[in-house]
Structure 1
Amino acid sequence: MRVLVTGGAGFIGSHLVDKLMELGHEVRVLDDLSEGSLDNVRRWLEDERFEFIKGDMRNPEIVKEAVKDVEAVFHLAANPEVRIGSQSPELLYETNVLITYNLLNAMRDSSTKYIVFTSSSTVYGDAEVIPTPEDYAPLEPISVYGGAKLAAEALISGYAHTFGFRALIFRLANIIGERSNHGVIYDFINKLRRNPEELEILGDGTQRKSYLHVSDTVEGMLKIFEHFRGIEKTVDFYNLGNDDWITVREIAEIVSGEMGLKPRFVFTGGVDGGRGWKGDVKFMRLSIEKAKKTGWRPRLNSYEAVRRTVGELL
């Protein structure tokens, strides 16, 4: 296929690009390099099957150009920082909702058949059912980030049903691995490099979540996309996460151990009952039974994924 990957120079996007190129597809990347890096896709720059467009998706003309002659769009471009929502909600709107709207409008007038969107577990908010299945309701995000992802999901569904293309939406757990440049593991490593004696931990340390390695994520996305192409649904949703979960304190212990350190842990106490920040979902584990029925399952559990990621980032 000829595919477009928005945000393809970013963390998850670049790993997806690697896999698509290795499988023999023609890949176009659209990225403004605000979060991503050209180094993440440098190995493909001279390949005739690869094309890189540097551009901001807030500009509709750039997006229209990017979707020309592609069969599928993998839409990963977004501001990935959940915490920024309380300081700059307008930025999260522009870099999650507005760019998705611009993409869908461009797809209306193109020959594109599929959009694959990376949404987030944050759309569920503080779910009362854990592990949380795809049909859990009502969806009540507790962060602006989660609200923006849910708004993008709704737009995609509406456009797909109205304008005749098909949409596959992934709700991702915490994705970790090589090339990540934000998140708890990245933060802990940088804090310990600055001060090996002490580690500040946001919240009370009991926050418990599911973590999935980026290699398992990309494998799941492509496996389920192949499954989706063979069925009749216009829009479908899949959780991608792990069967287990891990606390923030346990992550701190793994990071410290892998770095050969024994720092003093200093917990900030957090907000709203020990959360790391306003809008932080304290307990998150997704049901992945639907994804498993397609033949995919994670190779690494949350603990193994965290340990491997620490090694990769170090």
Structure 2
Amino acid sequence: MNILITGGAGFIGSNLTEYFLEKGYEVVCLDNFATGHRHNIALFLEHPKYRLIEGDIRNLSDCQKAVEGIDYVLHQAALGSVPRSINDPITTNEVNVSGFLNMLTASRDAKVKRFVYAASSSTYGDSQGLPKVEEVIGKPLSPYAITKYVNELYADIFSKAYGIETIGLRYFNVFGRRQDPKGAYAAVIPKFVMQLMQYESPMINGDGLHSRDFTYIDNVIQMNELAMTTTNPEAVNTVYNTAFGDRTTLTQLVGLLKEYLALFDPKIAEVEVLHGPNRAGDIPHSLASIEKAKQLLGYAPKYAIQEGLQQAVAWYFSNLDK
């Protein structure tokens, strides 16, 4: 089977690429390298079943070229980050909404069997209830959240109007190998890892009691595979939380990172932690119900945050310049 992975040079996309190549799939990657990196795909370039298309999902012609002969699309390409969307809502919308619509349209026209896409836990917005269940959402709290909700609306309409099968995966704070620690919009775990490795004090936004359902990359790979391959007719044309189903405060997170990093470098245990103001557009708590994914897809996440962090820390120590 032929898979197209958009954003295939990014953190999640490159991990999906590696996994599916190892399983014998033909994999096409579409990326414009705005946030992805060539070093993420360097190992794949000589693989006989891998093909790179350098293009932009904002260009319909690039999307049409990428879906030729494709059976399944795993759409990961997006501009992530709540702060980035607040600073630049126009570009975020162009990529995440117009680009998404281009990919969906091209996939429909190419008669792709199924379109699996990266949705987001940010869609829950100001919803207060915990755990988050797929059918109950609030109002979005950032431009980024709006764009990811619009993705779900478009996918739903396309499945009803045109018959293309779609599945959205609402990612909850994914982390793991190849996640970029650099840049203004780096995710919290790789950013803190890099700072601690350099004996710099990480800055926690707020009092440290905000909590997240941190989700290791291998759980996300499992969900993408299940969404792509399920033969259960009740499991398609819907959205699923993609998480572990547990929450960790930021203070607990830093404590775990210091503990695991200190196994490689004991001096890290002595690094102090700083606190700053709350971040605009952030939700205080996030915890997913994964019952729907368990029941309809057979999802069984293998990595809690502790196991995932241990794996991630070992990877960063082997691959980051200290």
TM-score (norm 1): 0.92
Aligned partner of 1:300 in structure 2 is: 303
Aligned to 1:24: 24
5+ residue gaps, structure 2, are 181-185, 318-322
Which residues of structure 1 form unaligned runs of 5+? 272-276
- Equivalent residue for 1:62? 62
* Aligned AA (1:288): I
Aligned length: 305
CA distance in 2, matches of 1:167, 1:51: 24
- In the other structure, the counterpart of 1:263 is 271
Rounded to whole Å, the distance in 2 between the matches of 1:66 and 1:11 is 20
Partner of 1:187: 191
Could you say what the CA RMSD is over the residues aligned between the two structures, in angstroms? 1.7
Q: For residues 139 and 305 of structure 2, what CA distance do their matches in structure 1 show?
A: 25
The answer for the alignment partner of 2:183 in structure 1 is none
The alignment's TM-score, normalised by the length of structure 2, stands at: 0.89
Structure 1 residues 292 and 233, CA, compared in 2 at 3 Å: closer, same or farther?
closer
Alpha-carbon separation, structure 2, partners of 1:109 and 1:15: 28
1:84-95 → structure 2 map (5 Å cutoff): 84-95=84-95
Q: 1:232 to 1:256 in 2, by over 3 A?
A: closer
Q: How does 1:189-204 map to 2 (within 5 A)?
A: 189-194=193-198, 196=199, 198-204=201-207
Structure 1 CA distance for aligned equivalents of residues 227 and 102 of structure 2: 26
Amino acid paired to 2:253: I
Matching of residue 160 in structure 1 with residue 159 in structure 2: yes
1:274 maps to what in 2? none
Residues 82 and 145 of structure 1 are in contact (CA less than 8 Å); yes or no, is this contact kept in structure 2? yes
Q: Percent identity?
A: 29
2-side partners of 1:290 and 1:283: how far apart?
20
After superposition, the C-alpha distances for 1:39-58 in whole angstroms (9 at most, x for unaligned) are 22222222232111011111
Preserved contact between residue 218 and residue 303 of structure 2 (Cα < 8 Å): no
| 1:236 matched to 2:238 | yes
SS of structure 2 residue aligned to 1:107: helix
Measured after TM superposition, the shift of residue 233 of structure 1 is: 5.9
Contact 1:126–1:283, Cα closer than 8 Å, also in 2 = no
State the secondary structure of the residue aligned to 1:283.
coil
Structure 1 moving runs of 4+ over 4 Å: none
Judged with a 3 Å threshold, the aligned counterparts in structure 2 of structure 1 residues 38 and 141 are, in CA distance, closer, same or farther, namely same
SS at match of 1:5: strand
